[in-house]
Amino acid sequence: MTLEDDLQSAVRTIPDYPKPGILFRDITTLLGNAQAFRRAVDQLVHPWAGSKIDKVAGIEARGFILGGAVAHQLSAGFVPIRKKGKLPHQTVRMAYALEYGTDEMEIHVDAIKPGERVILVDDLIATGGTAEGAVKLLRQIGADVCAACFIIDLPDLGGADKLRAMNVPVRTLMQFAGH
Ligand code: AMP
């Protein structure tokens, strides 16, 4: 069994959630499997082992779980990117595209010093609207976004290519066709 099959079988698929036609890729089963969780984090950080990463930025909420583990593994700090209105100190805000309409995300204005090397983490990239907003937010406060990593890529939706077009290297551990 390849690593990809092993990890991929740890992801649970829920049809028609949160609405008809969506195949929801549920990573709670992977997170709850000690071996799969460890392997996923090890594989995500592999390209940066031994290189200097200052901060890992995680996108609310599943990006917090993975991002915290990735930050620990890289001896980096962790920075949360949150939905608007949740962070207590002065923030910078960015609108981002959802399937229908837009929403806004925020980061503390002093969370990253200009020039710091940052890796962005979330569980899954679909259309890339969320991650694109996060990259713009990080760059706005001066981050050097070295990479974005995700457990799951839905390549048919084009998000990873969108990030690559912004000069952000993308690492993903598995792909699912469709959306
Ligand atoms: P997007 O902005 O389209 O790349 O969507 C990415 C965000 O939506 C991530 O935070 C994912 O957790 C969530 N998401 C989008 N599609 C799915 C899906 N099919 N299964 C699980 N989560 C999804």
- How remote is the CA of residue 64 from the centroid of ligand 1, in Å? 14
Place of tokens 């996060």: 134
- How remote is the CA of residue 60 from the centroid of ligand 1, in Å? 11
Looking at residue 1, what is its pLDDT? 55
CATH number of 48-175: 3.40.50.2020
Looking at residue 10, what is its pLDDT? 97
Looking at residue 176, what is its pLDDT? 97
Looking at residue 99, what is its pLDDT? 74
Mind telling me the catalytic residues? 62, 99
The CB of 123 under 6 Å from ligand 1? The reply is yes
- Record the pTM: 0.97
The CB of 81 under 6 Å from ligand 1? The reply is no
Looking at residue 93, what is its pLDDT? 97
| Cα atoms in the 13 Å half-sphere on the side-chain side of 99 | 7
Q: So where are the chain's domains?
A: 48-175
pLDDT single digits (tens) 104-143: 999 999 999 999 999 999 999 999 999 999 999 999 999 9
pLDDT tier for residue 39 given thresholds of 50, 70 and 90: very high
Q: What 3 state SS string does the chain have?
A: CCHHHHHHCCCEEEECCCCCCCEEEECHHHHCCHHHHHHHHHHHHHHHCCCCCCEEEEECCHHHHHHHHHHHHHCCEEEEEEECCCCCCCEEEEEEECCCCEEEEEEECCCCCCCCEEEEEEEEECCCHHHHHHHHHHHHCCCEEEEEEEEEECHHHCHHHHHHHCCCCEEEEEECCCC
pLDDT single digits (tens) 78-103: 999 999 999 999 999 999 988 778 99
Looking at residue 111, what is its pLDDT? 98
CA distance 174 to 75: 25
